[in-house]
Structure 1
Amino acid sequence: MPDSLKLQVRDLEVDVLTGVYSEETHLPQPLRISITVDLKMPERFDPDTPLSASKSYLDLKGAAQNLPAGVHFTLIEAVAEHIADTLFIGDDRVTRVEVEIVKLAIAEAGERIGITMVRERP
């Protein structure tokens, strides 16, 4: 198995138009989104290795925060799919994307209700 680098952004809180039930469909819901990306990497990272040899964490953050304006995602799975697609399209070195989404508005006792989607580049 070749070496890979895992880049992570954890616990971003993003308001997203999502939901099935009528009480969910009118206003954005707060989601907690975490992303892990597996990235092909160079043989070594020397002290002077440029950022272009890796990927900016801001790309991961942007994929979660810059969802299409005004689009209602019925399922949070579709939000995860959009994030994964954005990261695959943006960089051929991305080999795997894992997106975890927790629906904050429906937690009653601090439980974590949500999904984890894992997509690999074919």
Structure 2
Amino acid sequence: MQTGFDDFLTLEVNNLHVDVLTGIYSEETHLPQPLRISIRARLRIADHYEPDTALGQSKNYMDLKHAASTALPQGVHFTLIEAVADHIIDTIFLQDDKVSHVEVKIVKLALSERGEEIGITLGRGRK
């Protein structure tokens, strides 16, 4: 059975708190900044998911968490958080060729004064 145009599977990991060396201002470049990172990865799906469907028909959620945490290079300063998002997206595309699109939302927690979310969302499709 062929999956329909509207069929999709999106894996999500939301609100990871990660400290990353990032920023362009002198007060930002010395210490890691706290970021809140959320990831949505769209996958090619199986024709149907039965109770005994193997994990290979989907993706391990922990791979997304890894891409936004331990896979970020230690000691590397990312001038822009857009570059952090791009690194996460590249890592996820390298992990699994079933991933067709990735969206990464990054909120710079240090900029929040009253709970507002200041940051970016970057989405890329597989090329």
Which residue of structure 2 aligns with residue 4 of structure 1?
8
RMSD: 0.8
Q: Deviations over 1:28-63 (max 9, x none)?
A: 000000000000011011000111111000000000
1:12-51 aligned within 5 A: 12-51=16-55
- What one-letter code is carried by the residue in structure 1 that aligns with 2:41? V
- Stretches of structure 1 that go unaligned for 5 or more consecutive residues are none
- Mapped partners of 1:50, 1:79: distance in 2: 32
Q: TM-score, normalised by structure 2?
A: 0.94
TM-score by length of 1: 0.97
Identity of aligned residues (%): 63
Segments of 5+ residues of structure 2 without an aligned counterpart are none
1:5-39 CA-to-partner distances (Å, cap 9, x unmatched) read: 10000000000000000000000000000000000
Runs of 4+ in 1 over 6 A off after TM superposition: none
The C-alpha deviation readout for 1:68-111, integer Å capped at 9, x for no partner, is 01000000000000000000111110000000000001111111
1:121 alignment counterpart: 126
- Counterpart CA distance in 1 for 2:7 and 2:125 is 15
